[in-house]
Amino acid sequence: MKAEELARFLDPDMAAEGLVIDEILDPWSYGDRPAWALFYRRRDCKVQVCWSERDGGIDFMLAPPGADNTFGLSDRTGTWHFMLLLSRAKDNLITPPFGAKDDVVMAWLRDLFRIHFKSACEAVNSIAQGTSNDVD
């Protein structure tokens, strides 16, 4: 799956949350292998959608609005956090099997975002304000 293809697919949901594309980091390298990242911003947070051949998956990460657009999987500052670890929302989504078609994976990613973004955004804002330390 290509970064720009996923960006186009997610655009309506990102826009609905007030997120605008900030940067596309493609191509990139992580662990000497191909990678890419999409960065979105709004006044209270940033969202990164990143993929690496090394890790083999696509992750959503969140950070405070002033965060640099650094590849989240290699971020050692602790600024970028995995959305699913921040979120208190629960889902019953089934992870697509290895080798699933891109449209299936993109729909699953969209659904993850829809379910978990609000809760994760609240958590990253609490962390940034120093009002919460109960996120794993």
- The distance between the two most distant Cα atoms of the chain, rounded to a whole number of Å, is 41
| Predicted local distance difference test score (pLDDT) of residue 115 | 98
pLDDT tens, position by position, for the chain (136 residues)? 899 999 999 999 999 999 999 999 999 999 899 999 999 999 999 999 999 999 888 999 999 999 999 999 999 888 999 999 999 999 999 999 999 999 999 999 999 999 999 999 999 999 888 876 455 4
| Predicted local distance difference test score (pLDDT) of residue 10 | 98
The tokens of 87 are what?
């979120």
Cα distance between residue 41 and residue 68, in whole Å = 11
| Predicted local distance difference test score (pLDDT) of residue 136 | 47
Let me know: does 40 contact 14? Beta carbons within 8 Å. Answer: yes
Q: Tens digit of pLDDT for each residue in 28-63?
A: 999 899 999 999 999 999 999 999 999 888 999 999
Let me know: does 90 contact 124? Beta carbons within 8 Å. Answer: no
Cα distance between residue 89 and residue 73, in whole Å = 23
Cα distance between residue 16 and residue 134, in whole Å = 28
Query: b/e map of 72-106 (b: 16 or more CB within 10 Å)?
Result: bbebeeebbbebbebbeeeeeeeeeeeeeeeeebb
Rounded to 5 degrees, what are φ and ψ at 54?
Answer: -60, -45
Residue type (1 letter), 24 = I
**Bridge pairing between strands 58-63 and 20-30:** unpaired
